[in-house]
Structure 1
Amino acid sequence: MTRWEGIDEFVAVANAGGFTRGANLIGMSPTHVSRAVMALERRLDTQLFHRTTRTVRLTDAGRGFLERCERIVQERDEAFALVGQKGEPHGELRVTCSTAMGERFVAPILRRFAMQHPRLSLTIELTNRVIDMVAEDFDLAIRTGSTNDPRLVAVPVASRTLHTCAAPDYLSRRGRPDQIGALASHECIIGTAATWQFKIDGREFLYRPAGRFHCNSGHAVIEACIDGMGVCQLPDFYIFPFLKRGMVELVLEEVQAPDEPIWAVYPQRRHLLPKLQHAIEALKNELAAAMNRRN
């Protein structure tokens, strides 16, 4: 037995929040992982987890030990990656992204990237659910908005603009809102965002819209808007094709929120893996241009 044994298993269980999920992360059996962690605890003469029939939680000693073990595992993996891969992306790259942005932009970019690197396999999960990247073993996520998980690193790769709009027919019937408060007297079409973003006197202002139509699909929201059902706020790539054809009109442009960054987000321990570095570079080079072309 070496001093390394049990560390990978311990880190996996701690990040996944359970022995079975931790075992799945590293491709080992739950029995092996449980025994390895117990052996590690005996060597340390310290309990690393509080265990019940339903939960597994780190002890105070376990939390401190995890921080150091994660750094050790990260540096070891990076050393192997840099020497063994010689800078060439290979292995499996697991990516998650919101459905609409993924279908339109991210999946085509990463598909071309994978075609350029035959030793790389690519898995993309498109969902509007915010995935726990560490627990579910994803390498990369494309996200918007704030990123405040200390386990993750966020790199800006593009940006998008949120626009508020309505159909000309709706505006002729109900009038054009001239200030944010006027939205209270309008029908609002609500998508995945519970609040709409604006900027007043240089400061962010969040408005909670109310309306009869709610849907987690941007396509359905813009179609309802075109049909004259009300006012909506969506990213530019939903709105601009219909704006050019006069099917919607922008409103409240004077309080439009500043551009929202789009981030490539990844777990800290993977930041030097060639497959990740090259994928992020491809997104930096292509995503903004692809979104601008679509607009």
Structure 2
Amino acid sequence: MARHEINRFTEMEVFVTVIETGGFSAAARQVRLTPSAISKLIARLEARLGTRLFNRSTRQFQLTPEGCTFYEAAKRILADLSEAEQRASQGERPAGRVRISTSASYFHHVLAPIVPQFMALYPAVTLDISLTDALVDLLAERTDIAIRTGPLKTSSLIARKLGETARTIVGAPSYLEQYGQPRHVADLKSHNLLGFSYVRSEPGWTLSEDNHSVVVPVAGRVQISDGEGVRRLAVAGAGLAMLADFTVRDDVAAGRLAPVLSHCNTGDTEVFYAVYIEEGGPLPARIRVVLDFLSEHGKVR
């Protein structure tokens, strides 16, 4: 086939759609082709590139390393083309989907209340929000922005600071009435300490008593995968929890939770960032406006 007869844009668009919808049938429905046509198009693309992009089985497919590389390049090219078209036809009006990974705590207490304002400002931008406290690989998870705490693990990531917050040990009044109010760090040994079911960078709760730093292992009877779940358990009276101030401030003010061992708090803070990948060149407008909005309205305090 002559080079000028190949619609490489369509090939890339269909290939990316197959990846992001999870299969040929789903992609076929989205681009209004038959699964057979999708399969033939991908086969032609692989033949032209001279490499296999998928490892196929009867029920699923998996990208090869070459397929992963081509996917990231194709996605970037399609985004650049879409951006150019938007600038030409809409005066750089931001449009398109932005994938965000964030913790359930940040979503419920900071992001969710401001989403309606963002939607009103940018009606052509769609937010695809995934909730997890675990760190995600932005490339592997096809994520544009991640809300994270702590230092960055790789130099390919760029971060915008969204503020910082202290952490406080809290418990429900019903729990404290039944099991007693801890007066010293050692008293925590007789309490149920609510923790996380995934590995965190800290080995436990770091507290200060008599000018000495003490790390208290968290090995309670209940562990859960996100901070919002831990907060809800604490409010229900299941045990004590160490949580970011911004997530429990309203509960403490309303009397649903009470601070515990405040005199042993180290005063250390947890810093929040909006993280994205540095790929060179200007950021797509759809991503830039989300980052700017979070920097102004999504602060953690």
Pick closer, same or farther for the CA change 1:59–1:273 going to 2, 3 Å.
closer
Partner of 2:291: 280
Structure-2 residue corresponding to 1:34: 39
TM-score w.r.t. the length of structure 1 is: 0.68
Which whole-Å CA distance do the structure 1 matches of 2:158 and 2:40 have between them? 32
Deviation at 1:281, TM superposition (A): 0.8
Match of 1:236 in 2: 245
Question: What is the alpha-carbon distance in structure 1 between the residues aligned to residue 63 and residue 177 of structure 2?
Answer: 56
Contact residue 81 and residue 274 of structure 1 kept, 8 A: no
Give the equivalent residue in structure 2 for 1:80: 85
Q: Is the CA contact (8 Å cut-off) linking 1:160 and 1:262 kept in structure 2? A: no
Range moving further from structure 2, 139-148 or 78-87: 139-148
Does residue 52 (structure 1) correspond to residue 57 (structure 2)? The answer is yes
Partner of 2:110: 105
Q: Which sections of structure 1, spanning at least 5 residues, go unmatched?
A: none
Q: 1: CA distance between counterparts of 2:62 and 2:30? A: 17
TM-score by length of 2: 0.67
Range moving further from structure 2, 62-71 or 45-54: 62-71
Contact 1:156 1:262 in 2 (8 A): yes
2:232 to 205, 216, 220: 220
> For the Cα contact (< 8 Å) 1:49–1:58, is it kept in 2?
yes
- The aligned counterpart of 2:211 is none
Shift of 1:232: 0.9
22-31 vs 39-48, which deviates more? Answer: 22-31
Q: 1:230 Cα shift?
A: 3.5
Seq. identity, %: 23
Shift of 1:121: 5.5
Quick one: distance in 1 between partners of 2:18 and 2:282?
21
CA distance 1:15–1:199, shift in 2 (3 Å): farther
Amino acid at match of 1:176: R
Judged with a 3 Å threshold, the aligned counterparts in structure 2 of structure 1 residues 94 and 58 are, in CA distance, closer, same or farther, namely closer
1:209 to 218, 221, 229: 218
How much has 1:189 moved relative to structure 2?
2.5
| Deviation, structure 1 residue 75 | 3.5
Give the conservation status (yes or no) of the 8 Å contact 2:194–2:239: yes
- Equivalent pairs, count: 282
CA contact (8 A) 2:86 2:93 kept: no
* Partner Cα distance (1:29, 1:271) in 2: 36
CA distance in 2 between counterparts of 1:32 and 1:191 reads 47
2:124 is aligned with what amino acid? L
Counterparts in 2 of 1:222 and 1:43: CA distance versus 1, 3 Å: same
Q: Quickly say closer, same or farther: Cα 1:268–1:53, change in 2 above 3 A.
A: farther
Q: CA RMSD in A?
A: 4.6
- State the partner residue of 1:156: 161
Alpha-carbon contact 1:176-1:251 (below 8 Å) kept:
no
Q: Is the 8 A contact 1:162 1:233 kept in 2?
A: yes
The correspondence of residues 105-124 of structure 1 with structure 2, limited to 5 A, is 105-117=110-122, 119-120=123-124, 122-123=126-127
Distance 1:277 1:68 in 2: 20
Verify the 8 A CA contact 2:169 2:240 in the aligned structure 1.
yes
